[in-house]
Amino acid sequence: MTTFPMVSIPETEMRTVRSAGVGQEYCISIALPPSYRDQPNKSYPVIYLLDANLYFGMVTEMVRAMNFRVPFCDELPDALIVGIGYPVSGSLPDIFDQFIQLRTRDLLPAVDEDAEKAMRELFPRLDRVESGGGGHFLQFIHQELIPMIDTAYRTNPTDRTLMGHSWGGLFALYALFQLPELFQRYVVVSPDIPFDNGFIRHNEREYAARHESLPVQLYFAFGEQELNDYDVLHVEAFVNAIKQQNYSGFKFTYQIFAHCKHCGVVAPAFQAGLSKVFDKTLQT
């Protein structure tokens, strides 16, 4: 059987970072913007992407296609993309199992035995599944990863975006209310709003009790076909609550994608979300 070279993405780098706080090795994928090498005095916004094992290639090419050096494809600025992933290996089923196991631990900010059970049933080859490590994972991003990226690359530390889908979206909302100054833009797709009896609603209420401002742009989206009646109640309650706070500096977009389910909504919502949070008309 003929062996051909693997496909690779130009101008990308892979760094292995071991987190002392989590006790985990992470694969950090970095995509450089097209002008990075030609403009050595320029600094760049950074897009941090969760679940990079699934989405790094898609988001990198999406961002580059939306800024393609022609007047009608200038929707986004040049930006560094930093994907947070895991060192997985083996067959595709092996890779998915390892990835699911680690993301369940890192993205869920509270222990959820029902979620652990669901993952074991969906991925029966997993020997164990743990949850509730979101606090340690956020600490890794805040205290270890971002300082490393800001030191190694020419970044604009006042312009960071966090993107997440599903439990990644849940984690992004958790980060928003725990460390609101860490990111200025959020693209949050299909977050598990009912998680742990309204964990995120509780986080938002605690934040609102102490703050009158929330100077971020939050894009929030779901696929129409992924929301049952129970989900809709929780999602609408969250949307209404965060709107009613009237936070100063807060820009919020909520969008539903027709004909999309939980996984099919990722690409269109990520694309629309990036366009929205980087919309120049919203910067003032």
> Does a structural domain hold residue 106?
no
> Closest Cα to residue 188, out of 202, 196, 200?
200
* pLDDT tens per residue across span 118-167: 999 998 888 889 999 999 999 999 999 999 999 999 999 999 999 999 99
Give the per-residue pLDDT at 9: 94
107 lies in a domain?
no
CB of 270 within 8 A of CB of 57? no
Q: What is the pLDDT of residue 284?
A: 43
Q: Is the pLDDT of residue 269 over 60?
A: yes
Structural domain includes residue 184: yes
Domain contains 104: no
Is residue 51, in this structure, part of any structural domain at all? yes
Task: Quick: pLDDT tens for 190-232.
Answer: 999 999 889 999 999 999 999 999 999 999 999 999 999 999 9
Q: How far, CA to CA in Å, does 185 sit from each of 47, 68, 70, 158, 250?
A: 9, 22, 25, 10, 10
Domain range spanning residue 158?
A: 12-87+135-282
Asked if residue 121 is part of any domain, the answer here is no
* Rounded mean pLDDT, 105-124: 93
- CATH number at 43 reads 3.40.50.1820
Q: pLDDT of 153-203, one tens digit each?
A: 999 999 999 999 999 999 999 999 999 999 999 999 999 999 988 999 999
Q: Mean pLDDT throughout 64-79?
A: 88
Count the domains in the chain.
Answer: 1
Higher pLDDT pick, 67 / 55: 55
Compute the C-alpha angle 10/15/17, nearest 5°: 160
pLDDT given at position 124: 87
Q: What confidence score (pLDDT) does residue 126 get? A: 84
Mean pLDDT, residues 261-282 taken together: 92
Q: What average pLDDT does the structure give for the chain?
A: 94
H or E element in which residue 243 lies: helix 229-244
Residue 26 lies in a domain: yes
6 in any annotated domain: no
Q: pLDDT tens-digit profile of 16-66? A: 999 999 999 999 999 999 999 999 999 999 999 999 999 999 999 999 999
